[in-house]
């Protein structure tokens, strides 16, 4: 195999001159605060369900996660998820909200191809990889723990 083609030497200085510096520390703080606020909101919802709906803690946890998934799907469908994600960055990508967003946005992207071959078939393209590799890694960890006698 040959060498990778080099980027023209004149291009990099021009690109760097026009590239804005990224406020990494500010972005980290925003993501931390947004993720923390999202988790705190979920705790509040869970506590309200436990206290006022008289749900056991396990049912309140499941119900609050379903609420979070539904709200994420709704704001993705309305086009607000991307706007929020631009403002708060990775703080909104808590695994369950990111997963819900990926499914709904893929579904919306392919809706012009029809409900079955468009939306249904393409809804799990990105999420499918997450499910497969998440399940595979859980299996590998379980086998390792079984071999080590943890179970």
pLDDT digits (tens, 9 = 90+) for 46-91: 999 999 999 999 999 999 999 999 999 999 999 999 899 888 888 8
- Structure token digits, residue 21: 């510096």
Q: In which element (H, E) is residue 18 found?
A: helix 11-18
The pTM of this model reads 0.69
pLDDT digits (tens, 9 = 90+) for 88-132: 888 887 778 888 888 888 787 777 777 777 777 777 777 777 778
Sequence-separated (6 or more) residues with CB below 8 Å from residue 61 = 46
Residue 140 has pLDDT above 60, yes or no: yes
**pLDDT for the residue 62:** 92
Distance CA 103, CA 100 (A): 5
Of 42, 39, 77, the closest CA to residue 63 belongs to: 42
First-to-last C-alpha distance (Å) of the chain: 49
């Amino acid at each position: 195999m040959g060498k990778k083609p080099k980027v023209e030497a004149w291009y990099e200085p021009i690109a760097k001159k026009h590239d804005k510096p990224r406020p990494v520390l500010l972005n980290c703080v925003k993501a931390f605060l947004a993720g923390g606020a999202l988790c705190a909101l979920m705790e509040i919802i869970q506590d309200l369900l436990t206290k006022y709906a008289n749900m056991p803690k396990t049912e309140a946890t499941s119900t609050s996660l379903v609420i979070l998934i539904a709200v994420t799907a709704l704001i993705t469908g309305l086009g607000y998820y991307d706007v929020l994600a631009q403002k708060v960055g990775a703080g909104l990508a808590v695994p369950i909200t990111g997963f819900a967003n990926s499914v709904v946005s893929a579904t919306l992207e392919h809706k012009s191809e029809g409900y079955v071959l468009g939306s249904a078939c393409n809804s799990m393209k990105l999420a499918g990889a997450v499910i497969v590799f998440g399940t595979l890694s859980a299996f590998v960890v379980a086998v390792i723990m079984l071999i080590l006698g943890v179970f």
